[in-house]
Structure 1
């Protein structure tokens, strides 16, 4: 069932066992899993069926720190959520991403990847993904990896018919859960605004917050300020440890034989460090990508290379006239260390139409991010040289420690952390089952639960975790 507002929903008499706030990939996945278990749920979405600037305005906010995208442009507020931005790239987090790494502060999940692996098949089905190919070792340090570029799923479009036909899922559009109310360790209701007017509350025995990697923190922070009892009783970590995937082009790459490393049909190829290499070099996880781009004027390129990398220029000259793919670019995307100072906070003076404080995002890349960029490119380049596959010329701004460019992508539009998973409520918000510490009936879904981020585009992992949460709620029904 799909209702256009809260009034239509109330007139139906629908009685949910679970109320899910947010109808993006995580919220829709949880709802579909509950429906399979015959558990009725309400699925609230603050937007409508399609994009509108009026709805999108609620996402305006301020970033303090490094340059970042406009906050109302980096996510979407309508049915299906930010899946409307997804370009199809994805991969599950690696097993070692879940492990404690002593050179990365605050790393280590309370669960291993084996906890979500039973849900990989469901995630692949939901997203229309083939099986991922095994990593292909190139050296002891670097492996060729399979990062899928699939046809991106727009959750609002793909599942609208199923949601409309379901007797167990009530989608309530244009209904903004402004805050949650709690009493004695339980959420009692979601206070709502529907069609831009106060519309009372929605009750349910259990609640799931699935509004996205920024809005999850915003909703819970504001709920803690407005509820007579705390919604997150132990809130030291709430909004903190926020992460992105920094993403920049890093240099020119010259490759003789793309057959040496299993390139994709379009010539793109992805590589990642082995766990041993990360441990030895004390680097965070990253992926390097070769992006073929043919240049003219090979002699000019050779001369430029000779000025900055004579050994590479000598190799290139020796290969001249052979099957040389010169002029490609190499890019790097990497994980960010989870630090408490990177956080989502509430504005003290800016509010949306409903009177809810807008977001202030505090985000800055540190020395470990800079080291992973430079040393990661060096490590990748060393493998290419040792295996006589190619040579890399790292861009000057990286070699000399210059400012990050602002005319590149900057980051992946991947919002992670803020309600991170931890056994310790002083460093996390949810436990290993995605339940908020100190609460009996409140859960969080989406990438805000990520403890660390790896390098993988997060959609597949988000969906696997959401499917797992839906299964857990079905197994522990009241």
Structure 2
């Protein structure tokens, strides 16, 4: 059932067991699975069924630190959430991403990869993915990995009709949960803003916050402030340890035999490090995206190598006579260290139309990230050279230790952390079951629970975690 506003929903007399705040990939997945188990759920979607500039304006905020996207651009506020501008790249976090890295403080999950394994097949069906191929080593340091580009499932388009037809789902659009009420042990209600006006307090036995990797922290920070600590009673880590995947072109490569790598249908290949390489170099996980260029790009690259790397230029010139076929751009995306000072705060001066403070996002890349991108290129370049598969040239900004380019991709629009999962409430917000520490009926869905980010795009993992949370809720609520 779909309701265009809270008043219409209230008149219907629907009685849910679980209230889900947010109709993006996590919220929609949880709602569908609970409904299939005959558990009635209400889903509050702050936006409507299409983009609206007024609604989108609620997401405006401020970034303090490194250059980043405008906050009202990097996510979407209507049904389906940011799946509506998702590019579709999919890969689950590696098993090593769940493990602590002794050389990086505060890394590791309280669960291991095998905790999400039972849900990956279902996740593949949800995201319309073909089966993943196993990784293949190029050397002891670098492995070929597969990222799959799904048809970029829009959750509104794929699942909207199912939600509308389900007797166990009430989807309430244009309805913004502005804050939660709590007494330090459970959520007792939620203030609702709908159709541009306050609509009082809503009650339900269980609540799931699934508003996105920035908004989850914002909602809980504001709720906790309003409730004098009654929503997140142990809040030291709330909003902290926020992460992105920085994205930059870090170099080029000359590839004599591009058929040596398996590329996708747009001639791209992906590579990541082995655990041994990360441990030896004391770096974070990374992904290299090799984008093939046509032959005419090779000569220009050889010319640019003539001064900076004459040996490589000579090798490349000789290879031209051996049917050298392509050059490639090398883009790197990498894991950020979880640092408490990278955080989401509430503005002291700016509020949205419902009176909720806007976000101030503090984020800064550290020397650990700089070393990771530099070492990623060195490891990849050494692998290509040792196997005679190609040669790598570093981008000038990286080779000369210059500032990160401000006209680059900057990041992946991957918002992780802020309500991280863990066993220590001083450094985490939710436990291994995504339940807020100390609260009996409050859960969090989405990538904000990631304690560490790995290098893979987060959607596959966050949907698998949503399936896992759904199973936990089914046992708890039934």
The TM-score normalised by the length of structure 1 is 0.98
> What is the DSSP-based 3-state SS (H/G/I as helix, E as strand, rest coil) of the residue aligned with 2:439?
coil
State the 1:303 CA deviation.
2.9
**206-215 or 296-305: bigger deviation:** 296-305
Q: Describe the shift of the 1:297–1:344 C-alpha distance in structure 2 as closer, same or farther (beyond 3 A).
A: closer
**Match for residue 311 of structure 1?**
311
State the 1:282 CA deviation.
1.0
**Match for residue 423 of structure 2?**
423
**443-452 or 290-299: bigger deviation:** 290-299
**Match for residue 11 of structure 1?**
11
**Match for residue 93 of structure 1?**
93
**Match for residue 347 of structure 1?**
347
**Match for residue 48 of structure 2?**
48
**Match for residue 117 of structure 1?**
117
**Match for residue 134 of structure 2?**
134
Summarize deviations over 1:52-87 as a string: whole Å, max 9, x none: 000000000000000000000000000000001111
Q: Give me the whole-angstrom Cα distance separating, in 1, the residues matched to 2:345 and 2:265.
A: 44
Q: Give me the whole-angstrom Cα distance separating, in 1, the residues matched to 2:99 and 2:2.
A: 41
**290-299 or 344-353: bigger deviation:** 290-299
**Match for residue 364 of structure 2?**
364
State the 1:229 CA deviation.
5.2
Contact 2:254 2:326 in 1 (8 A): yes
What does 1:15-414 correspond to in 2, within 5 Å?
Answer: 15-228=15-228, 230-294=230-294, 296=296, 299-414=299-414
1:473 has 2:473 as partner: yes
Contact 1:181 1:228 in 2 (8 A): no
State the 1:320 CA deviation.
1.2
> What is the DSSP-based 3-state SS (H/G/I as helix, E as strand, rest coil) of the residue aligned with 2:296?
coil
State the 1:15 CA deviation.
0.4
State the 1:328 CA deviation.
1.6
Contact 1:138 1:261 in 2 (8 A): no
1:2 has 2:2 as partner: yes
Summarize deviations over 1:147-173 as a string: whole Å, max 9, x none: 011210000111110000000010000
> What is the DSSP-based 3-state SS (H/G/I as helix, E as strand, rest coil) of the residue aligned with 2:346?
strand
**Match for residue 448 of structure 2?**
448
Q: Give me the whole-angstrom Cα distance separating, in 2, the residues matched to 1:6 and 1:427.
A: 36
State the 1:323 CA deviation.
2.8
Q: Give me the whole-angstrom Cα distance separating, in 2, the residues matched to 1:446 and 1:231.
A: 18
Q: Describe the shift of the 1:299–1:207 C-alpha distance in structure 2 as closer, same or farther (beyond 3 A).
A: closer
Q: Give me the whole-angstrom Cα distance separating, in 1, the residues matched to 2:340 and 2:162.
A: 40
Summarize deviations over 1:432-466 as a string: whole Å, max 9, x none: 00000010000000000000000101111110000
Q: Give me the whole-angstrom Cα distance separating, in 2, the residues matched to 1:184 and 1:299.
A: 66
Q: Describe the shift of the 1:306–1:441 C-alpha distance in structure 2 as closer, same or farther (beyond 3 A).
A: same
> What is the DSSP-based 3-state SS (H/G/I as helix, E as strand, rest coil) of the residue aligned with 1:328?
strand
State the 1:213 CA deviation.
0.3
Q: Give me the whole-angstrom Cα distance separating, in 2, the residues matched to 1:184 and 1:44.
A: 23
Summarize deviations over 1:30-49 as a string: whole Å, max 9, x none: 10110111110000000001
Contact 1:292 1:327 in 2 (8 A): yes
Number of aligned positions between the proteins: 478
Which consecutive residues of structure 2, in runs of 5 or more, have no partner in the other structure?
A: none
Contact 1:342 1:363 in 2 (8 A): yes
Q: Give me the whole-angstrom Cα distance separating, in 1, the residues matched to 2:176 and 2:423.
A: 31
Contact 2:295 2:325 in 1 (8 A): no
Q: Give me the whole-angstrom Cα distance separating, in 1, the residues matched to 2:444 and 2:289.
A: 33
**224-233 or 269-278: bigger deviation:** 224-233
> What is the DSSP-based 3-state SS (H/G/I as helix, E as strand, rest coil) of the residue aligned with 1:330?
strand
The TM-score normalised by the length of structure 2 is 0.98
Q: Let me know the Cα RMSD of the aligned residues.
A: 1.1
Q: Describe the shift of the 1:135–1:6 C-alpha distance in structure 2 as closer, same or farther (beyond 3 A).
A: same
Contact 2:42 2:171 in 1 (8 A): yes
State the 1:401 CA deviation.
1.2
Summarize deviations over 1:71-108 as a string: whole Å, max 9, x none: 00000000000001111111000000000111122101
Q: Give me the whole-angstrom Cα distance separating, in 1, the residues matched to 2:358 and 2:420.
A: 21
Q: Give me the whole-angstrom Cα distance separating, in 2, the residues matched to 1:139 and 1:372.
A: 18
Contact 2:184 2:438 in 1 (8 A): no
Superposed structure 1 runs of 4+ greater than 6 Å apart: none
Q: Give me the whole-angstrom Cα distance separating, in 2, the residues matched to 1:201 and 1:325.
A: 65
Q: Give me the whole-angstrom Cα distance separating, in 1, the residues matched to 2:171 and 2:321.
A: 62
Q: Give me the whole-angstrom Cα distance separating, in 1, the residues matched to 2:297 and 2:220.
A: 57
Q: Describe the shift of the 1:197–1:302 C-alpha distance in structure 2 as closer, same or farther (beyond 3 A).
A: same
State the 1:266 CA deviation.
2.5
Q: Describe the shift of the 1:368–1:14 C-alpha distance in structure 2 as closer, same or farther (beyond 3 A).
A: same
> What is the DSSP-based 3-state SS (H/G/I as helix, E as strand, rest coil) of the residue aligned with 1:292?
strand
